[in-house]
Structure 1
């Protein structure tokens, strides 16, 4: 048995901001994927995944049945028979490893599930997001449910506010475009929960809350609008502003050895960096109007292009 593939995701804009009702834009990233498998694999990775699924079974049994219910007997039997999640999605890298797993399990075991084929009204999207939020909270405490939603639908998702999300279109990529969105590998595994708790601690300070509202959310919203409209000139202006605000106010989420590199991008305009997911390691997201220039400036670092302008 091998289940359908579920892809990783990239939250282009909105990390932390969406907790405070900023806009957000999340896109599927097909470079990484995962699927449920039962093929007798006894490697350490498969056994570890199977162990995790055993614990996850208990979590699913505690969820409110008015929200979602599962065929838990079949799920338990499959897990006992050695089922695991075979995934190429790196964990702790901010590209939605737990989201793809949650999407795969909902797809296979949820009763009365909302399918991708039906007319996805806003109500249905919000219901899916609520279900996925509860399911994914098992992995890192508090979840918006967006990662699994993106993985499940395999569509770009525009977050207008907490209660207003929609599947959206983004401008076609230009294969020969000079500009790009890229992932920069920090080489460090990040953990979501400690980063989120630093953020929540900072939120207790009035100055931080004001900065979030007046600068961070403002620039994030502008970036989302620019990206969807395809206004590249304005996008880079706003991404630079956002990059500055993040470097000033989210230092704990940026690995120490990248502070200088981050500043260098702002000063040279060769590239602008921002958080990818909760930060603390994993990938850092980069935007550049000239990929060749950015590659030279970031010589010695691993770069993966996600989108071409």
Structure 2
């Protein structure tokens, strides 16, 4: 048995901001994927995944039935037969490993599920997001539900605000020098501690003001620029966003990347930003000249995800 593939995602813009109603833009990233699977001779990682699935099933049984119901008889039978999530998506890297798993379980076992082939009205998207938020909270303590939504639908999603999301198209990739890339920090990040630092900071008035007047302002501008293909303005706003993150989100940036982050802003060779909640995993980079950025970041593993 091997189920359909569910892909990783990249939240290009909106990390932390979407908690406070900034815009956001999330795109599928087909380089990594995962599927539900059963094997005759499971590996050690398959056994570990299966044990985690058992705990997840216990958690799902307590979700409000008005929100979503599952075929627990078949789900439990499959899990007891050793089903696991076979995934190439790195965990703790901010590219949606738990989101893909949530999408796979919903797709196979949810009753009265909203399918990808339906006319996806805003109501349906919000309902899916609410279901996925509840399901994914098992992994992170608090989830927006966006990662599984992206993985489930496999299309770019534009977040206008908490209650206003839509499927969107993004400009076709060009063969230019500009690029969005992933930089491997080599460290596994954990979402829950990062989110709690953020929530703690939100108690301070100065931080809340900065979030509204700087962080959200530049995030919203970046989303607009990206969708309209206004590249010049996009890099200007990404630079500002990179500065704000370096000044106000330092705990989310691994210590050894503080200098590298600043170097990008000072030289304009690249601009770094958080990919997901930070603390490790991938760091997202934007550059107007990918060859220059590669030279400048020669000591690091770089993956291009989009070309301008």
Shorter-chain TM-score tier: over 0.9
Shift of residue 153, structure 1, vs aligned partner? 0.1
Distance in 2 between the 1:137 and 1:23 partners?
22
Q: Alignment RMSD, CA only?
A: 0.4
Distance in 1 between the 2:5 and 2:183 partners?
25
SS of equivalent to 1:92: coil
Distance in 1 between the 2:60 and 2:216 partners?
34
Structure 2 matches for 1:294-309, cutoff 5 A? 294-309=293-308
Distance in 2 between the 1:74 and 1:38 partners?
14
Instruction: Please say which of residues 3-12 and 38-47 is displaced more in the overlay.
Output: 38-47
Which aligned segments of 4 or more residues in structure 1 are displaced greater than 3 angstroms?
none
Match of 2:24 in 1: 24
Match of 2:275 in 1: 276
Match of 1:150 in 2: 150
Shift of residue 299, structure 1, vs aligned partner? 1.1
Shift of residue 280, structure 1, vs aligned partner? 0.2
Distance in 2 between the 1:167 and 1:39 partners?
36
Structure 2 matches for 1:167-186, cutoff 5 A? 167-174=167-174, 176-186=175-185
Match of 1:161 in 2: 161
Shift of residue 41, structure 1, vs aligned partner? 3.7
SS of equivalent to 1:218: helix
SS of equivalent to 1:85: strand
Match of 1:235 in 2: 234
1:111-132, Cα deviation, whole Å (9 max, x unpaired): 0000000000000000000000
Distance in 1 between the 2:199 and 2:66 partners?
30
Distance in 1 between the 2:40 and 2:133 partners?
31
SS of equivalent to 1:187: coil
Please report the TM-score for the alignment, with normalisation by the length of structure 1.
0.99
Distance in 1 between the 2:60 and 2:256 partners?
40
Distance in 1 between the 2:85 and 2:229 partners?
37
SS of equivalent to 1:3: coil
1:229-268, Cα deviation, whole Å (9 max, x unpaired): 0100000000000000000000000000000000000000
Cα gap change, 1:122 to 1:41, in 2 (>3 Å): farther
Structure 2 matches for 1:41-120, cutoff 5 A? 41-120=41-120
Distance in 2 between the 1:169 and 1:119 partners?
16
Shift of residue 39, structure 1, vs aligned partner? 2.0
Distance in 2 between the 1:79 and 1:177 partners?
47
- Report the number of matched residues: 308
Please report the TM-score for the alignment, with normalisation by the length of structure 2.
1.00
Which sections of structure 2, spanning at least 5 residues, go unmatched?
none
Match of 2:136 in 1: 136
SS of equivalent to 2:144: coil
Shift of residue 40, structure 1, vs aligned partner? 2.2
Distance in 1 between the 2:10 and 2:84 partners?
24
Structure 2 matches for 1:219-230, cutoff 5 A? 219-230=218-229
Distance in 2 between the 1:95 and 1:150 partners?
11
Distance in 1 between the 2:160 and 2:87 partners?
30
1:42-71, Cα deviation, whole Å (9 max, x unpaired): 211100000000000111100010110000
1:202-243, Cα deviation, whole Å (9 max, x unpaired): 000000000000000000000000000010000000000000
1:161-218, Cα deviation, whole Å (9 max, x unpaired): 00000000000001x2210000000000000000000000000000000000000000
Distance in 1 between the 2:279 and 2:50 partners?
27
1:144-164, Cα deviation, whole Å (9 max, x unpaired): 000000000000000000000
SS of equivalent to 1:305: strand
